[in-house]
Structure 1
Amino acid sequence: MSGTTLAAERAKFDALAGQWWDPDGPMKPLHRMNPLRTGWIADRLGGRDLTGKTILDVGCGAGLAAEAFARMGATVTGLDAAGAALAAARAHAEAGGLAIDYRQGGPEDLLAEGLRFDAVVALEVIEHVADRAQFCAALAALAKPGAPIFVSTLNRTARSFLFAKLGAEYLLRLLPVGTHDWRMFVTPGELGAALRPTGYRITELAGMSMSPTGQWRATRDLAVNYLAMARR
């Protein structure tokens, strides 16, 4: 199995597989966040028509982002170490008539196949991996020359502990308790440092903020959730 994935993290998300596509279930925050994440990425790939683009979605779970990119016309490969989540992804894509190539494993497992993509995406996954530097190196190796890498994650700040850990999991119950380990949250500086040996540098950052009504928007506030684009 992949050298960057943690068994406990795989089990955690496998346990949620049957509820992943319930918009009011435990993945409700991701359902609400997904249009912002995928739209922000698509805009930086040239617009909401991604026909002809190949996208690798690393840590795809049950396919929320992968399906959004496929509906924009992209040829999508979804990669995840959680087998039950992938089974849910395949079933949902088939029911929706979407042809998405779902693979089980980690990004390093694709390297031997010589696959390269027009964009490599890792959304809400880097805070769950065992080796951040190894993970970033694998993402970079899977990108075509000149292709961008996109990452969304949680910043490790006092505010993220208050809102994304205590608030989201314990007070508001927006996420199952134990979804996140605040110690594994990643600051933009740490993300940049992990990417730097690969030749990639962060070229754009945007915060993701949730309104009181549950809608997400891009902001300059990086203190909790943020998106990053990197190029070399």
Structure 2
Amino acid sequence: MKKFQAWSAKWWDEEGVYSALHAMNDIRVPFVRDILMSKSDHHDVGCPLSGVKILDVGCGGGLLSEPLGRLGAAVTGIDPLEDNIRTAILHKSEDPVLDKLIQYKPCTLEEIVEQNIESFDAIVASEVVEHVNDLESFIQSSFQVLKPGGSLFITTINKTKISYILGIVLAEKIMSIVPEGTHDWDKFIPPEELERLLESNGFVVDTLRGMLYNPLMGSWSWFDDTSVNYAVHASKTVRQEQTSDIDFEKEQDSPKAAEAST
């Protein structure tokens, strides 16, 4: 948090420390949009995500919240740094439409769970989980605030030798694409480990795609290899034990219903 505090006023500088995140919108926004649209048969051409409630976790200055809002989604952006939230609020206030569709709160995901059980259609956590101390707790909280069948979108960095070379040595120390100290390689997570955590906490992983950043072009593209960056879409399911409890209650009620009928 101390590292990101120093960069809180630089979110909307497209050539600055967050330039790679600005560029990532070219692929991550359509990724979220297309999957959410596939879950509904009715779309407003101008606002394809109208009526969809999205929670943007670790929203920073609102780089992802705003384009999702422009697609018609009602977005709640949360971030533990108040300076980030102030930057996000100031920027969205320049657009009256976005000002109504997006709200920002300075807090963590865990802090809003109790008041938001099964409140959101989707969660986006883009370039966030590699900064989280307790990833399983984060996933459990995501499960709680999502509606049944809701979507969890994650983009993050794999834990490989090449991700260390490209993500830290090259990006931070040599090319200064992001400030030095942005990432901690020990917190990078392999996709198979993330998938295991998701599926053991009530999610089904539907999509896993590799991502590639070209620092010379300043652009992102989808890639067959997940050894560096990757994106995941997972859907919330009803926990098996909950289903079993419901079936058991039905079995218990059946003799009583039969007896009453007789």
The CA RMSD over aligned residues, in Å, is 1.3
Equivalences for residues 47-196 of structure 1 within 5 A: 49-97=48-96, 98-99=98-99, 100-115=102-117, 116-196=119-199
Question: Are the counterparts in 2 of residues 208 and 219 from structure 1 also a CA contact under 8 Å?
Answer: yes
Q: 2:24 aligns to what? A: 33
Question: Are the counterparts in 1 of residues 20 and 219 from structure 2 also a CA contact under 8 Å?
Answer: no
Distance in 2, matches of 1:165 and 1:24, equals 19
DSSP-derived class of the 1:64 partner: coil
Name the stretch that deviates more: 205-214 or 78-87: 205-214
Distance in 2, matches of 1:88 and 1:96, equals 14
**Percent identity of the aligned residues?**
37
Q: 1:5 aligns to what? A: none
Distance in 2, matches of 1:208 and 1:96, equals 31
Output the amino acid matched with 2:234.
A
Give, in angstroms, the shift of residue 197 of structure 1: 2.8
Distance in 2, matches of 1:151 and 1:109, equals 20
Q: Is structure 2 residue 216 aligned with structure 1 residue 217? A: no
CA deviation map 1:4-48 (0-9, x unaligned): xxxxxx222121111111000111111111221111111111177
Distance in 2, matches of 1:210 and 1:12, equals 23
Output the amino acid matched with 1:107.
L
Give, in angstroms, the shift of residue 193 of structure 1: 2.0
Distance in 2, matches of 1:171 and 1:61, equals 25
Question: Are the counterparts in 1 of residues 80 and 106 from structure 2 also a CA contact under 8 Å?
Answer: yes
Distance in 1, matches of 2:86 and 2:229, equals 28
Runs (5+) with no aligned partner, structure 1 = 1-9
Distance in 1, matches of 2:51 and 2:88, equals 22
TM-score (norm 1): 0.92
Question: Are the counterparts in 2 of residues 11 and 82 from structure 1 also a CA contact under 8 Å?
Answer: no
Between structure 1 and structure 2, the one with the greater Rg is 2
Aligned residues: 223
Distance in 2, matches of 1:189 and 1:151, equals 13
DSSP-derived class of the 2:195 partner: helix
Output the amino acid matched with 1:71.
R
Distance in 2, matches of 1:114 and 1:61, equals 20
Name the stretch that deviates more: 201-210 or 154-163: 201-210
Output the amino acid matched with 1:169.
E
Output the amino acid matched with 2:105.
R
Q: 1:13 aligns to what? A: 4
Runs (5+) with no aligned partner, structure 2 = 39-46, 238-262
Question: Are the counterparts in 1 of residues 24 and 220 from structure 2 also a CA contact under 8 Å?
Answer: yes
Q: 1:45 aligns to what? A: 36
Higher relative contact order (CA 8 A, sep 6+): 1
Name the stretch that deviates more: 110-119 or 18-27: 110-119
Distance in 2, matches of 1:146 and 1:204, equals 15
